[in-house]
């Protein structure tokens, strides 16, 4: 899905260069214009069926969360710290759901006391703990139960069900566990949640996965005689990270699964269906900008050594769940300078004293020199908070938000 900023490389490069010169590097630059275009694209194709919930873990920057407040329906948090970030960004507690397999009393208590919208339960242990807390507080907490289906279709970058998993209640155990949860007096079971796979670029796999969701939801609600208020579909929508990857075709998904979603919604007319996602919305809306500190020739390879590496961007280095390392899409800011910079294959390294600090291998780019700026694409999700920022104590990356051509410093980490 093209956007004006992404398609207009000269304008993008000018804005990224100005941001780097003004605020320094390494830097994450998040474009709210691109995120808004992606949200509009999502709603145009899937909004007929789904409200939208944003998974804070993908990018918990408070300024970005604040920008989302009046644009998205819900937030999904996975820790007490993310609950606090959501509140600080202006989100009402009743619009927040709380997932995660190891919730502790110290984070459950303030969330329940603070009016959390829904607690997404992942086990009977968690349900009993939440029930005890709610009883002490004199409240009844709305809850959903996360279910782990027996299978996940091929095509997902990460699977959280269909095999031993810390996430949710296995569907094989649901018949025994869910009635016990539903009987707890200080919890009110209002729905179900499934997030079984992520980072999928195949429309047919997305559709097959959602069919599994609908079957599990239907069978579970029937068994419990539950009329759900909310059913959460973990979206699984992927983004193109690497050369050759294609943007996920939402129109194809809507065309294939639409009639089945219509029939499903008709069976649950009082239920709100929610699509939970993270990277799909913000991943392509972010760039990691790093400056070349030095260039060297080594045994036939040209190596550009940059001021930001895996310490600042673990995902781009290939060390955040990638089985076989692949280069992210990247470009030299400023291009080839009217042909005076011939393109050649170069290795891109970070500043750390470890051989795994590599941002690219054999990347075809205009010949790099010290002082050049590189922009690594698809870095708006799982960036600084998913990276070992303090390893070897290099300067922390800044976070910048770009809206309508205006940039502001929204850095949170390392600042009071």
Indicate if 379 belongs to the active site: no
Tokens 């009393």: give the residue.
Answer: 105
Residues 288, 28 contacting (CB under 8 angstroms): yes
Residues 51, 272 contacting (CB under 8 angstroms): yes
Q: Which of 200, 207, 221, 353 is catalytic?
A: 353
Enter the DSSP assignment of 293. Answer: E
Q: How far apart are CA 373 and CA 341, in angstroms?
A: 14
Beta carbons within 8 Å of 259's beta carbon, 6+ residues apart: none
Tokens 């030299």: give the residue.
Answer: 332
Give bridge partners of residue 188 from the DSSP assignment: 142
For the chain, state the CA radius of gyration. Answer: 23
Q: How far apart are CA 355 and CA 353, in angstroms?
A: 7
Q: Which of 391, 392, 389, 393 is nearest to 411 (CA)?
A: 389
Q: Residue 402: phi, psi to the nearest 5?
A: -110, 115
Beta carbons within 8 Å of 144's beta carbon, 6+ residues apart: 97, 118, 119, 120, 121, 189, 190, 191, 192, 193, 230, 232
Residue 338: which region, alpha, beta or left (left: phi > 0; alpha: psi -120 to 50)?
left
Neighbours of 303 (CB within 10 A): 17
Q: How far apart are CA 306 and CA 344, in angstroms?
A: 17
Tokens 């990691």: give the residue.
Answer: 288
Residue 92 token pair: 């009402």
Tell me the residue length of the chain: 416
Q: Which of 13, 10, 16, 8 is nearest to 398 (CA)?
A: 16
Instruction: Please tell me whether residue 55 adopts helix, strand or coil conformation.
Output: strand
Residues 207, 257 contacting (CB under 8 angstroms): yes
Instruction: Please tell me whether residue 108 adopts helix, strand or coil conformation.
Output: helix
Give bridge partners of residue 30 from the DSSP assignment: 286, 401
Report the catalytic residues: 353
């Amino acid at each position: 899905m093209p956007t004006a900023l992404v398609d207009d490389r000269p304008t993008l490069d000018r804005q990224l260069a100005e941001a780097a010169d003004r605020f320094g590097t390494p830097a994450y630059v998040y474009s709210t214009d691109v995120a808004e275009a992606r949200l509009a694209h999502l709603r145009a194709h899937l909004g007929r069926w789904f409200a939208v919930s944003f998974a804070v873990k993908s990018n918990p920057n408070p300024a970005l969360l604040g920008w989302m407040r009046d644009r998205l329906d819900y937030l999904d948090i996975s820790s007490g710290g993310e609950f606090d970030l959501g509140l600080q960004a202006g989100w009402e507690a009743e619009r927040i759901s709380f997932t995660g397999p190891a919730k502790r009393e110290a984070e459950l208590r303030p969330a329940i006391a603070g009016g959390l919208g829904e607690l997404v339960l992942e086990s009977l242990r968690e349900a009993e703990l939440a029930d005890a807390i709610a009883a002490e507080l004199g409240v009844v907490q709305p809850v959903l139960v996360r279910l782990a289906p027996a299978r996940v279709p091929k095509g997902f970058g990460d699977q959280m069900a269909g095999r031993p998993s810390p996430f949710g209640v296995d569907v094989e155990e649901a018949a025994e566990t869910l009635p016990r949860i539903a009987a707890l007096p200080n919890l009110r079971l209002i729905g179900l949640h499934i997030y079984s796979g992520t980072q999928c670029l195949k429309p047919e796999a997305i559709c097959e996965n959602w069919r599994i969701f609908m079957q599990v939801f239907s069978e579970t609600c029937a068994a419990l005689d539950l009329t759900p208020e909310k059913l959460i579909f973990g979206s699984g929508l992927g983004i193109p990270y690497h050369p050759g990857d294609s943007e996920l075709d939402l129109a194809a998904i809507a065309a294939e699964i639409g009639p089945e979603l219509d029939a499903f919604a008709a069976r649950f007319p009082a239920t709100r269906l929610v699509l939970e996602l993270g990277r799909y919305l913000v991943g392509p809306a972010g760039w990691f900008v790093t400056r070349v500190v030095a260039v060297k020739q080594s045994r036939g390879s040209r190596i550009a050594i940059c001021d930001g590496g895996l310490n600042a961007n673990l995902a781009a280095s290939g060390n955040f769940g990638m089985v076989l390392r692949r280069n992210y899409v990247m470009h030299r800011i400023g291009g080839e300078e009217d042909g005076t910079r011939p393109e050649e294959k170069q290795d891109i390294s970070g500043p750390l004293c470890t051989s795994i600090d590599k941002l690219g291998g054999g990347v075809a780019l205009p010949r790099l020199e010290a002082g050049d700026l590189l922009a690594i694409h698809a870095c708006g999700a799982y960036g600084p908070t998913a990276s070992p920022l303090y390893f070897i104590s290099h300067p922390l990356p800044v976070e910048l938000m770009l809206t309508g051509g205006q940039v502001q410093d929204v850095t949170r980490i390392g600042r009071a």
